[in-house]
Amino acid sequence: MKIREITQYLENIAPLSYQESYDNAGLLTGNPQDEVTGVLLALDCIEAVIAEAISKKCNLIIAHHPIIFGGLKKLTGRNYVERTVIKAIKNDIAIYAIHTNLDNVFNGVNAKIATKIGLENTKILLPKRNQLKKLTTFVPLPDSEKVLDAMMKAGAGNIGNYSNCSFSIMGEGTFQPNRKANPYIGASENLEKVQEMRVEVIFPAHLEGSVISAMKKAHPYEEVAHYIHLLENENQEVGSGMVGNLPASMPEIDFLAHIKANMEVSCIRHTSFLGKNVKKVAVCGGAGGFLLRHAISAGADFFITSDYKYHEFFDADRQIVIADIGHYESEQFTKNLLAEYLEKDFKTLKINISEVNTNPVNYF
């Protein structure tokens, strides 16, 4: 199996186009055509993780945080980033980063945290806009089912828990083929009037190529009239953070203990309790402070995230309890999430979860 097959699989789950503008997800070192000897899953790819990959005979490291983030102008080994990259290249190890694109998908980093905490009825806290497109095409009546089916199979027509979503309306299409044309209906230089279905489906923008080629393949016409529109709608499947409910509410102090036990953290920095039971909880792996007002307006009692600074804690303002559980701690189960995905579809692949504790923060 080639590295490319695994990275393509991961990019189906977390398309690169879903990463934030500042990010650098994707293949950072290595040749996508190389055969995979084994996969090592890590949160951070540092020198110790490269050493672990060498000892475990894995030539593909899949890490959440991209080791190359702000660009590299020199590779002389003067810092840990350069040394890690040099060590990877010298040992023919591919590094693949799956970062904010995995944060932003529904079944990504935050879903893993939500599952650990036991949240139900989860929703994306801040869905992204401009991620959906609409395709409109015109199909002769007898072929409309076939064309619609092909577009659905290519990934169109999914809205939340609903699949096969479309809208069709009957109308009359006209066309006049010239002499060079090879029309499916009618003859050269005759004006035709045909009963057609106007068919509309939505799809995630990154699937545009496959949806259009599926439509064209199934469509009987030589020239397929179609429109593509970018929708400003939110895509509820893509975005930052997650909010959900606990199966049963619990006192705030009990909920902190619940987080400690389930997220395996030794220390939680939190704002004052509000003196009420916790039912609704917002989560964001990594630095999630930018989501605070969304967590409050979603009605969350608690906001679990990390990387809070002193003054930012004041923003809780007795409207919510902020619980900073640490960046590493919040995302540590991302390795397990990736293992679950890969184990499901690559039965023969050697998958290792890194045993290196890459957390740069220690507690005394």
| Residues contributing to the site for Zn ion (CB under 5 A) | 286, 331
Closer to Zn ion at the Cβ: 237 or 331? 331
**Cβ 307 to Zn ion, closest distance in Å?**
9
Amino acid at 55: S
* Cβ distance to Zn ion smaller for residue 11 or 331: 331
> Closest separation between CB of residue 41 and Zn ion, Å?
15
Between 201 and 291, name the residue whose CB sits nearer to Zn ion.
Answer: 291
State how far Cα 121 lies from the chain centre: 19
Least separation in angstroms between CB 265 and Zn ion: 15
**Closest CB to Zn ion among 41 and 202?**
41
Through-space distance between the first and last CA atoms of the chain, rounded to whole angstroms: 45
For the CB of residue 335, give the shortest distance to Zn ion in the complex, in Å. Answer: 12
CB of 65 to Zn ion, least distance (A): 6
Residue 234 C-beta: closest distance to Zn ion, Å: 24
In terms of CB distance, is 25 or 117 closer to Zn ion?
25
Nearest residue to Zn ion by CB is 286
Burial code (b: 16+ CB inside 10 Å, e: under 16) for 165-200 equals eeebeeeebebebeeeeebeeeeeeeeeebebbbbb
Under a CB-based contact definition with an 8 Å cutoff, are residues 69 and 24 in contact?
yes
- Contact by Cβ (8 Å): 196, 171: yes
For Zn ion, which is the closer residue by CB, 23 or 331?
A: 331
Count CB atoms within 10 A of the CB of residue 347. Answer: 7
Other C-beta atoms closer than 10 Å to the C-beta of 274 total: 15
Q: Cα-flanking dihedrals φ and ψ of residue 171, to 5°? A: -160, -170
Spatial CA neighbour of 159 closest among 197, 189, 200, 196: 200
Neighbours of 70 (CB within 10 A): 9
* Nearest distance in Å: CB 240, Zn ion: 12
Q: Which is nearer to Zn ion, 15 or 286 (CB)?
A: 286
Nearer to Zn ion, 95 or 207 (CB): 95
Considering beta carbons, is residue 35 or 264 the nearer one to Zn ion? 264
Q: How far is the CB of 45 from Zn ion (least distance, A)?
A: 13
Our measurement of the distance from residue 169's CA atom to the centroid of its chain's CA atoms, rounded to an integer in Å, reads 34
Indicate the residue type of 343.
E
CA distance 308 to 296: 16
Question: CB of 115: closest distance to Zn ion in angstroms?
Answer: 18
Q: CB of residue 40 vs Zn ion: minimum separation in angstroms? A: 18
Residue with tokens 């593509």: 228
Cβ neighbours around 129 below 10 Å, total: 13
Angle between helices 109-117 and 334-345 (to 10 degrees): 110
CB atoms within 10 A of CB 318: 10
DSSP code per residue over 67-94: SS-S--S--SS-SHHHHHHHHHHHTT-E
CB–CB of 137/147 below 8 Å? yes
Q: Compute the 3-state secondary structure of the chain and give helix, strand, coil in percent, each to the nearest 5.
A: 35, 30, 35
User: Which CB, 110 or 235, lies closer to Zn ion?
Assistant: 110
